[in-house]
């Protein structure tokens, strides 16, 4: 074999060996690489697909946003940009109150009175976000309700600015300024709005609504004092909607303020220039609701199309304390039901001043009521003495009066009355002498009836077994509700009822025969009061009980000092004296009696 053939054969063998080695060791590596490259290609394709999908979604979202924005523009016009936002809260507070504001609606959402708690020891909130509404409604060609829109807030010290921005030159601004007490100034600035509000529109609507929460122990008592009060600007007279049932009224006069009043606290909305008429007020009572009442007020605010027009208001969020309310010199003190006429005067000028004076020197309100009772009873003791003396005289004359009554009761009852009056006159006895002291005491009794349940000073003040003198006391909770009585037993009411029955029995002993038929009514009244006062303020029952006890004590000592034998002797002396000339009133009274007798005789014919 030639050399080149030999070399060719060796070359071919080497090439075959290399191919075998390559196919055995390197070809699988080639397949592995290929397998790795395929996923890379798929990933690239998937990435491109995801990008396409995301772009589609972005376009779709943009289309949806465009549709929504168009709807907002159609609905809110230039204020469409205020529809969407993130709600946040701002707080203004001083030593007395803490106020929460929301940028949604630019409104007050809650007010907490720091000095007070609810009956179950929780922070006392006058209302909360979900139970209140404050909305300014106006038109720009589109109906704008600020309660649904987002304001831009800015706080500077105790002043909070809330702006509803159409743009930098057209906006509605609420400015709240918290004072050092319970007052909050509230101003509405209308900047550039004269260009947006149609020239023919000269008013805006303002809605204020609140569901009053239960803050006191007795829901029924709180309901009795919860409602809407308002003051007329012209004569400063204060009026109110019904407190016992749902009520609604359209006021066609200018008002100074409107108050959503609770038993011991009030929210008052004050217009510094008065609320233009008409004003619609609604008080809705729902027995099944957890709230006491639903209160709402609808105002019409005049709009004059001025540049940078401003409306000035203020709020009072605080207690129904007489002197605190009176301090504002705006008639707020009439929110406290002290009674009308003389009853209110007794409370305002006597009871409240004595009560406040005693409160300066002691903090136990049970003892304060005790001292108040002693002071009142001592002041009335001269009248009480005259009443008891008159009763003693009547008691001495009772045998003679009974003889006259027995003599004429079947034939001439009118003549029996005439002879009885003649006997009184001859003996120098005034049958009405015991009534005058009662007339003096009556305004005080009624004044106390009004004062104690409305006195915030007694709120949550305990004494003996009563944990709250402004509400009912209970020594026993009943498993059921007794009609006209309740589901508990008030010990102060029981003591008051027992003492009243004893007092009635003592006084009935001096009654003449003609009054016997009235005795059962006098005994019935204390029993009726037992049901009424069982759910009333413990302080009131406690006061009436103390008043009865002191009356017993006074009569006990007076009885020891008054000698009935001496009274009888004096009356006998009086009978022998010449009769005093009749007064014009007596002559007229006798003439009326004679005319009455003639009419009765004519009827018998």
pLDDT digits (tens, 9 = 90+) for 282-307: 999 988 888 999 999 999 999 998 88
Could you tell me if 53 and 199 lie in one domain?
Answer: no
Whether the pLDDT of residue 32 is over 70: the answer is no
- Residue 343 located in a structural domain: no
Q: Note the pLDDT of residue 593.
A: 63
Single residue among 81, 101, 126 that ends a domain in this structure: 81
Could you tell me if 46 and 104 lie in one domain?
Answer: no
Nearest Cα residue to 534 out of 218, 274, 278: 218
Q: Note the pLDDT of residue 4.
A: 41
Whether the pLDDT of residue 377 is over 90: the answer is no
Sequence-distant (≥ 6) Cβ neighbours of residue 430 within 8 angstroms: 390, 424
Q: Which of 39-53, 64-78, 344-358, 455-469 has the lowest mean pLDDT?
A: 39-53
Sequence-distant (≥ 6) Cβ neighbours of residue 206 within 8 angstroms: 134, 135, 136, 137, 298, 299, 300, 301
Could you tell me if 163 and 300 lie in one domain?
Answer: yes
Q: Note the pLDDT of residue 535.
A: 87
556: confidence class by pLDDT, cuts 50, 70, 90:
confident
Could you tell me if 409 and 514 lie in one domain?
Answer: yes
Q: What is the pTM of this model?
A: 0.76
Could you tell me if 144 and 214 lie in one domain?
Answer: yes
Q: Note the pLDDT of residue 58.
A: 45
- Residue 240 located in a structural domain: yes
Could you tell me if 15 and 67 lie in one domain?
Answer: yes
Report yes or no: 149 and 91 within 8 Å, Cβ to Cβ: no
Q: Note the pLDDT of residue 458.
A: 92
Which residue reads 């290929």 in tokens? 34
Whether the pLDDT of residue 166 is over 80: the answer is yes
- The pairing of beta strand 238-240 with beta strand 183-191: unpaired
DSSP H helices, 455-518, are 491-508
Task: Write the secondary structure of 244-313 as one string of H (helix), E (strand) and C (coil).
Answer: CCCEEEEECCCEEEEEEECCCEEEEEEEEEEECCCEEEEEECCCCCCCCCEEEEEEEEECCCCCCEEEEE
- Residue 345 located in a structural domain: no
Q: Note the pLDDT of residue 117.
A: 92
Q: Note the pLDDT of residue 3.
A: 45
Single residue among 81, 100, 132 that ends a domain in this structure: 81
Q: Note the pLDDT of residue 403.
A: 67
Whether the pLDDT of residue 273 is over 80: the answer is yes
- Residue 210 located in a structural domain: yes
- Residue 603 located in a structural domain: no
580: confidence class by pLDDT, cuts 50, 70, 90:
low
Could you tell me if 104 and 77 lie in one domain?
Answer: no
Whether the pLDDT of residue 37 is over 50: the answer is no
Average pLDDT on 102-124 reads 94
Q: Note the pLDDT of residue 603.
A: 59
Could you tell me if 244 and 230 lie in one domain?
Answer: yes
- Residue 66 located in a structural domain: yes
Q: Note the pLDDT of residue 514.
A: 46
Which residues span the domain enclosing 36? Answer: 3-81
- Residue 471 located in a structural domain: yes
Whether the pLDDT of residue 547 is over 50: the answer is yes
Q: What is the mean pLDDT of the chain?
A: 80
Could you tell me if 43 and 89 lie in one domain?
Answer: no
Nearest Cα residue to 293 out of 169, 440, 127, 76: 127
Total domains present in the chain = 3
Whether the pLDDT of residue 30 is over 80: the answer is no
Could you tell me if 286 and 380 lie in one domain?
Answer: no
Sign of the torsion angle spanned by Cα atoms 555, 559, 560, 562: positive
- pLDDT above 90 covers a percentage of the chain that reads 41
Could you tell me if 112 and 63 lie in one domain?
Answer: no
- Residue 348 located in a structural domain: no
Q: Note the pLDDT of residue 482.
A: 84
CATH number at residue 108: 2.70.98.90
Q: Note the pLDDT of residue 126.
A: 95
Q: Note the pLDDT of residue 250.
A: 94
Average pLDDT on 485-502 reads 89
Could you tell me if 378 and 319 lie in one domain?
Answer: no
């Amino acid at each position: 074999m030639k050399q080149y053939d030999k070399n060719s054969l060796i070359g071919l063998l080497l090439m075959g060996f290399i191919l075998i080695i390559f196919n055995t060791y390197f070809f699988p590596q080639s397949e592995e690489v290929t397998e790795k490259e395929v996923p890379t290609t798929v990933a690239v394709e998937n990435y491109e697909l995801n990008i396409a999908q995301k772009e589609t979604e972005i376009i779709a979202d943009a289309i949806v946003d465009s549709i929504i924005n168009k709807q907002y523009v159609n609905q809110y016009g230039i204020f469409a940009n205020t529809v969407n936002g993130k709600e946040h809260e701002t707080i203004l507070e001083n030593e007395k109150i803490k106020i929460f504001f929301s940028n949604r609606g630019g409104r007050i959402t809650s007010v907490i009175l720091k000095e007070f708690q609810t009956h179950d020891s929780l922070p006392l909130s006058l209302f909360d976000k979900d139970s209140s509404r404050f909305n300014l409604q106006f038109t720009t060609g589109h109906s704008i309700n600020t309660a649904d829109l987002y304001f831009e807030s800015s706080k500077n010290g105790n002043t909070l600015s809330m702006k509803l921005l159409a743009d930098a030159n057209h906006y509605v601004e609420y400015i709240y300024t918290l004072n050092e007490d319970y007052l909050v100034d509230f101003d509405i600035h209308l900047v550039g709005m004269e260009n947006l509000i149609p020239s023919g529109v000269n008013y805006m609507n303002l809605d204020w609504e609140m569901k009053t929460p239960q803050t006191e122990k007795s829901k029924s008592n709180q309901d009795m004092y919860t409602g809407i009060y308002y003051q007329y600007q012209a004569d400063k007279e204060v009026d109110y909607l019904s407190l016992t049932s749902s009520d609604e009224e359209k006021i066609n006069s200018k008002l100074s303020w409107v108050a959503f009043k609770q038993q011991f606290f009030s929210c008052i909305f004050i217009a510094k220039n008065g609320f233009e008429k008409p004003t619609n007020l609604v008080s809705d009572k729902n027995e099944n609701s957890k709230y006491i009442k639903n209160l709402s007020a609808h105002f019409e605010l005049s709009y004059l199309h001025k540049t940078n027009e401003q409306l000035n208001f203020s709020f009072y969020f605080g207690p129904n304390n007489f002197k605190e309310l009176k301090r504002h010199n705006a008639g707020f003190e009439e929110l406290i039901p002290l009674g009308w006429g003389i009853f209110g005067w007794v409370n305002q000028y006597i009871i409240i001043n004595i009560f406040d004076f005693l409160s300066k020197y002691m903090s136990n309100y049970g003892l304060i009521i005790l001292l108040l009772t002693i002071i009142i009873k001592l002041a009335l003791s001269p009248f009480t003495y005259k009443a008891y003396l008159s009763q003693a005289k009547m008691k001495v004359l009772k045998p003679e009066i009974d003889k006259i009554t027995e003599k004429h009761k079947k034939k001439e009852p009118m003549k029996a009355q005439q002879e009885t009056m003649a006997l009184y006159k001859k003996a120098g006895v005034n049958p009405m002498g015991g009534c005058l002291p009662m007339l003096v005491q009556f305004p005080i009794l009624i004044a106390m009836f009004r004062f104690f349940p409305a006195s915030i000073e007694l709120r949550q003040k305990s004494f003996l077994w009563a944990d709250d003198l402004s509400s009912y006391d209970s020594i026993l909770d009943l498993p059921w509700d007794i009609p006209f009585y309740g589901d508990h037993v008030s010990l102060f009411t029981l003591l008051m009822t027992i003492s009243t029955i004893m007092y009635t029995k003592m006084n009935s002993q001096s009654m003449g025969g003609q009054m016997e038929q009235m005795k059962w009514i006098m005994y019935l009244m204390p029993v009726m009061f037992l049901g009424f006062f069982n759910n009333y303020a413990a302080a009131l029952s406690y006061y009436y009980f103390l008043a009865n006890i002191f009356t017993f004590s006074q009569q006990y000592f007076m009885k020891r000092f008054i000698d009935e034998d001496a009274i009888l002797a004096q009356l006998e002396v009086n009978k022998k004296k010449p009769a005093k000339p009749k007064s014009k009133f007596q002559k007229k009274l006798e003439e009326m009696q004679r005319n009455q007798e003639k009419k009765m005789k004519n009827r018998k014919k």
